[in-house]
Structure 1
Amino acid sequence: MDIFQIFLVIHIIAGTVCLVTGAFASVVRKRYGKHTITGEIYHGGYVVIFLTSAAMAIIHWSESAFLFYIAIFSYGLALWGYLARKLRWKNWLGMHISGMLGSYIGIITAILVVNGSQIPFISEMPILLLWFLPTIIGSPIIAIVSQRYKK
């Protein structure tokens, strides 16, 4: 197993952790306890996703340089949401919701784009739709959730 494959395995494990913990954090009560612990695990997993994405993009730069920029953007959303809550910025809750759900859209998009060809029904969709469908569906959800928790 070469270094790229090691990074890929770690990346897949971290992505799975984020997929599960992100979903869980979105449905549990929003207070200290399950939500915050799960959120910490989600953020830690996203750090690993970011680092492995960047490493894999650098290793295969000519084929996947764009992944480096996607990793920066997606992790930027996760970091934005995480820091908004940790540092209690003004209007932190809206930034937290937008950042965390936006980063979750990034996870879903990555899964669809990378694995869509192996998923029945999804494999028949144009690849461009797989890139944009999570954002098309997720953006109104972010707006609804943000409105629900708005003070």
Structure 2
Amino acid sequence: MTGYTVLLTLHIVVGAAGLALGPAVAWADARKPRPDLWTAYLGTVAAVCISAVGLVVWRRTDLWWLVPVSALTVALAMLGWRAAGRPGDWTHAYVHGLGGSYIALVTATVVVSFAVDGPLHGPAQLIAWLGPTVLGTPLLELWRRGLVTKRRVFSG
């Protein structure tokens, strides 16, 4: 097994873990915040982003622009973590930090599955690139509004 194969395997495993942990963090936080889940989610997001940078440097330097995208994905996850459970109106930062980092993971999965050497070519690749954001952002906003309404009901 080559070093590249090991790195790619690690990238796939931690990416799958991040996809599983994102909803678990959101679901648990709705009931009782779980720092252990947040730590695991942040670790997997960081690991998938670091391994993505390694894969870009190793074989796909033409995808250099994924390096800042990876950094922004980690930054979104950290924003969600820092905003979780904070007093005041941090709901927007929490939802869009956690949700935005999760949308980035889903987008990467869809793009690799359908646009990179996949069945989508030319302008149709925009479906893979933009679909998760177009579908996910309104869902995040509905979730955020529900959290704000719930907070008002319980605080007033």
Q: Which TM-score bucket, shorter chain as reference? A: 0.7 to 0.9
**C-alpha spacing 1:90/1:60, structure 2 compared with 1 (3 Å):** farther
* CA displacement 1:27-46 (0-9 Å, x = unmatched): 3462436x543232111111
Q: Could you say what secondary structure the match of 1:91 adopts?
A: coil
- Structure 1 segment 27-106 matched on structure 2, within 5 A: 27-28=27-28, 30-32=30-32, 35-60=34-59, 62-85=61-84, 88=86, 90-106=88-104
Number of aligned pairs? 146
In structure 2, C-alpha distance between the alignment counterparts of 1:37 and 1:60, rounded to whole Å: 34
* CA displacement 1:9-32 (0-9 Å, x = unmatched): 111111000111112333346243
Query: Which range is displaced more, 49-58 or 129-138?
Result: 49-58
% identity of equivalent residues: 22
Identify unmatched segments of 5+ residues in structure 1.
none
In structure 2, C-alpha distance between the alignment counterparts of 1:30 and 1:82, rounded to whole Å: 14
Identify unmatched segments of 5+ residues in structure 2.
152-156
What TM-score does the superposition give when structure 2 sets the normalisation length?
A: 0.80
In structure 2, C-alpha distance between the alignment counterparts of 1:117 and 1:129, rounded to whole Å: 9
**Contact 1:11–1:52 (Cα < 8 Å) also in 2:** yes
CA-based RMSD? 2.5
What TM-score does the superposition give when structure 1 sets the normalisation length?
A: 0.82
